[in-house]
Amino acid sequence: MVSELSPCLLLLFLQPFLCASEATPKPELEPCEVDDEDYRCACNFSGPQPNWFSGLQCMVAVEVEIRAGGRSLDNFLQGADTEPRHYADVLKGLRVRRLTVGAARVPARLLFALLRALGYSRLKELTLEDLEVTGTSLPPLLEAPGPALSALRLHNVSWATGGAWLAELQQWLKPSLKVLSIAQAPSLAFSCEQLRSFPTLTTLDLSDNPGLGERGLAAALCPHKFPALQDLRLRSAGIETLTGVCVALAAATVQPNSLDLSQNALLGTANPSVPGCIWPSALNYLNLSFAGLRKVPKGLPAKLSVLDLSCNRLNKAPRQDELPQVESLTLDGNPFLDPGAHKSHEDTENSSVTQACVHLLLAIGIPGTLTLLQGTRGFA
């Protein structure tokens, strides 16, 4: 019975001694598997009566992945009150550096208890995937008791606390984060007053949030909270205007040197004369591939190291004076490069150049953006 296991937190392998005296249910299929090198361990607890103790195998692994088949973990809540200090030595000895927890309904209290326990481990990268975080939790008593993560990735995670979630989650993490990536998020409108600064965060990836748009971006980029940001990724983020992005960056006082706007249906211009639109002076990489562009956008930064305009709908080779001063320019996958291209819509749609882009896009995922290439009208 799951309730008998309640002292054994979300991850049994974290608390072997607490769990050791509990009765083991009759094992059905082994939900967990470790590879021969004891490097990677993956558990899939989606069966009707999963043997949670199978997770003990993962104690030796460096990379651990746990999926709970979408079930609710409310039954483990009692374990959330266990004091992790008592088994700190075990936690310190764990080899785990990368952990993925996915497919579950998990109470916030349990999730944060897990983070507190992981504060004794040397975990570096945490991924939360397909989670529904329910309920609320009191803030930690101690300052940042959780792990010193370098990377935190959230993919399709919803929170009962709405826009306050990032500020709450942040309280449990030591301020060491370098990479934060949040995809398919129901809300990226953070409560900026509550949020603390991310002093070491260099990469913020908000890709794969088609509902974000320029407004959402402005709400997500809390001013002065990302002082070290270098790399901002906004692939497939519902962005339509370069001006909106430019204004949002300036308002947030972020100075990225790399900006990925690929896979957004961009309108062709940035308007630097709009008040507040000043490109970050450090910007030297700009990715505008798969953006449905028919022309090189006007108003780009004057100088760039890398400009990617591949897989757009440019019908003519861009003139020198249309382009910024750029060291590396990519124009692959535009109709003007197709040797057999005719001016008719049917031919361009099926052209080998466009087809190559479709394959590329399928390979990198996010199929929704296929519409940026297909069903194109009026190439001529």
Ligand X SMILES: *[C@@H]1O[C@H](CO)[C@@H](O)[C@H](O)[C@H]1NC(C)=O
Instruction: Say whether 369 sits in a helix, a strand or coil.
Output: helix
Binding region for ligand X (CB under 6 A) out of 39-47, 90-98, 268-276, 333-341: 39-47
Residues 6+ apart with CB under 8 A from 17: 87, 90
* 362 contributes a contact to ligand X by CB under 6 A: no
* Strand partners of residue 182: 154
Structure tokens at 131: 């989670």
Of residues 160-179, which lie at the interface with ligand X (CB under 6 A)? none
Among candidates 259, 246, 191, 242, which has minimal Cα distance to 220? 191
The conformational region for residue 95 under phi > 0 = left, psi -120 to 50 = alpha, else beta, is alpha
d(CA 329, CA 260): 14
CB of 29 to ligand X, least distance (A): 8
Query: What residue is closest to ligand X based on CB?
Result: 262
**Nearer residue to ligand X within complex by CB, 67 or 225:** 67
Pairing of strands 32-34, 40-44: antiparallel
Among candidates 290, 255, 250, which has minimal Cα distance to 270? 250
Q: What is the contact mask toward ligand X in residues 326 to 345, using x (rule: CB under 6 A)?
A: ----x---------------
d(CA 250, CA 222): 11
Among 116, 153, 235, 313, binds ligand X (CB under 6 A): 235
Mapping DSSP onto H, E and C, the string for 105-162 reads EEEHHHHHHHHHHHCCCCCCEEEEEEEEEECCCCCCCCCCCCCCCCEEEEEEEEECCH
* 47 contributes a contact to ligand X by CB under 6 A: yes
* 63 contributes a contact to ligand X by CB under 6 A: no
* 46 contributes a contact to ligand X by CB under 6 A: yes
Binding region for ligand X (CB under 6 A) out of 19-27, 44-52, 78-86, 214-222: 44-52
Among 205, 208, 214, 308, binds ligand X (CB under 6 A): 308
* 258 contributes a contact to ligand X by CB under 6 A: no
HSE at residue 18, side-chain half, CA atoms within 13 A, is 25
Among 278, 302, 364, 380, binds ligand X (CB under 6 A): 364
CB of 308 to ligand X, least distance (A): 4
Pairing of strands 325-330, 303-308: parallel
Structure tokens at 94: 């764990």
Q: Under a CB-based contact definition with an 8 Å cutoff, are residues 72 and 105 in contact?
A: yes
CB of 339 to ligand X, least distance (A): 17
Instruction: Tell me the site size for ligand X, rule CB under 6 A.
Output: 23
Binding region for ligand X (CB under 6 A) out of 73-81, 275-283, 346-354, 370-378: 346-354
d(CA 15, CA 13): 5
CB of 281 to ligand X, least distance (A): 21
Among 73, 90, 131, 291, binds ligand X (CB under 6 A): 131
**Nearer residue to ligand X within complex by CB, 121 or 289:** 289
* 349 contributes a contact to ligand X by CB under 6 A: yes
* 156 contributes a contact to ligand X by CB under 6 A: yes
Q: What is the contact mask toward ligand X in residues 177 to 206, using x (rule: CB under 6 A)?
A: ------------------------------
Contact residues toward ligand X (CB under 6 A) are 44, 46-47, 67, 70, 130-132, 156, 158, 235, 262-263, 287, 289-290, 306, 308, 330, 346, 349-350, 364
